Amino acid sequence: MKKYLVIGNPIEHSLSPKLHNYWFEKNNIDANYDRKKIDKSEIQEIITEIRENKLDGINVTVPFKTDVIPFLDTLSKESQITRSVNTIYKQDKKLIGHNTDIKGFELSLKETQFNLENKTIFILGAGGVVPSIIYALEKLGTSKIIVSNRTKQKTENLKKYFSNISVVDWGDQPEFDMIINATSLGLNKEDNIDLNFKNINKKKLFYDVIYNPKETNFLRAGKNLGCQVSNGKMMFIYQALEAFKIWHKVEPEINEELKKLLDL
């Protein structure tokens, strides 16, 4: 039986095991997917288990997506540019790190049918997932990406890798076509982002990377303005789907039964 793991801290709420184990059953794959809470000091040991064939693949989540990099042999182009690895596998005796968050974000955007060409995107946050979001947005032909983060220094770091982005102070609200909440504000139901969202027309897209709760105050504000809204549910599912495709060479199905199972 093949064995897979998602590592992170915290990890209790990860829905990845449910999702992958559902797909194993549907596709008659003899495998198991588990979750493991680890400390940074345990990363090397866990990754060695893939080298020794005790494990067949690892998903990496917050806060270790960059920390795992020194223990891998090769990075995909996507992981190199974003300094972020969420999927690890072995190929020709080499441990490879890849980033499926980019494709996950991209495919979730496709589902919104929002036309991003020549659009201005305003990103709130500069944490672990933001390089993946910027990478995908640049590929999709957006014309301007503006980032705002409470700790401004972090946006300066982002600029080293993505020189075309603009930065505004936390609390400032520039003109935009699409706004993305990539902060952790909203994980608690009562969290509010201190922007007034006045003078915003209905043609905007409000996108929240958070999928639990399903509707953050940020998304509710967008909805109340009559704007299109999307939470991070499909990004989560698609990043898993891309990892599944790499590991098993099978494209699993996303259906209503699955969404019900995940209760997303």
List active site positions: 65
User: Which ranges of the chain does DSSP label H, i.e. alpha helix?
Assistant: 16-26, 43-51, 77-82, 101-112, 130-139, 152-161, 217-224, 233-248, 256-262
Work out which of 42, 114, 127, 173 binds ligand ATR, going by CB under 6 A: 127
Given the DSSP bridges, would you call strands 31-37 and 2-8 parallel, antiparallel or unpaired? parallel
Question: Rounded to the nearest whole angstrom, what is the least distance from the CB of residue 132 to ligand ATR in the complex?
Answer: 11
Alpha carbon distance 202, 177 (integer Å):
10
Near ligand ATR in 223-262, by CB under 6 A:
none
The nearer residue to ligand ATR, 195 or 254, going by C-beta atoms, is: 195
Under the binding rule (CB under 6 A), the answer on residue 104 touching ligand ATR is: no
- On whether the CB atoms of residues 96 and 88 are closer than 8 A, the answer is yes
3-state secondary structure string, 153-167? Answer: HHHHHHHHHCCCCEE
Question: Per-residue string for binding with ligand ATR, 174-203, x by CB under 6 A?
Answer: ---------xxx------------------
Q: Which residues contact 111 (CB under 8 A, 6 or more apart)?
A: 230, 234
Alpha carbon distance 101, 220 (integer Å):
25
Under the binding rule (CB under 6 A), the answer on residue 63 touching ligand ATR is: yes
Q: Which two tokens stand for residue 115?
A: 């036309």
Work out which of 36, 51, 154, 159 binds ligand ATR, going by CB under 6 A: 154
> Segment near ligand ATR (CB under 6 A), from 29-37, 104-112, 149-157, 201-209?
149-157
Under the binding rule (CB under 6 A), the answer on residue 140 touching ligand ATR is: no
> Segment near ligand ATR (CB under 6 A), from 11-19, 88-96, 119-127, 212-220?
119-127
Cis peptide before 131 (omega within 30 of 0): no
Under the binding rule (CB under 6 A), the answer on residue 99 touching ligand ATR is: no
Work out which of 126, 180, 210, 227 binds ligand ATR, going by CB under 6 A: 126
Under the binding rule (CB under 6 A), the answer on residue 83 touching ligand ATR is: no
Under the binding rule (CB under 6 A), the answer on residue 2 touching ligand ATR is: no
Q: Which two tokens stand for residue 250?
A: 């099978």
The nearer residue to ligand ATR, 17 or 127, going by C-beta atoms, is: 127
Alpha carbon distance 24, 21 (integer Å):
5
DSSP 167-204: EE-TT-----SEEEE-SSTTSSTT--------S--TT-
The nearer residue to ligand ATR, 111 or 156, going by C-beta atoms, is: 156
Question: Rounded to the nearest whole angstrom, what is the least distance from the CB of residue 191 to ligand ATR in the complex?
Answer: 7
Under the binding rule (CB under 6 A), the answer on residue 11 touching ligand ATR is: no
Under the binding rule (CB under 6 A), the answer on residue 149 touching ligand ATR is: yes
Q: State residue 166 phi and psi, 5-degree precision.
A: -105, 155
Question: Rounded to the nearest whole angstrom, what is the least distance from the CB of residue 8 to ligand ATR in the complex?
Answer: 11
Q: Which residues contribute to the site for ligand ATR (CB under 6 A)? A: 62-63, 125-129, 149-151, 154, 183-185
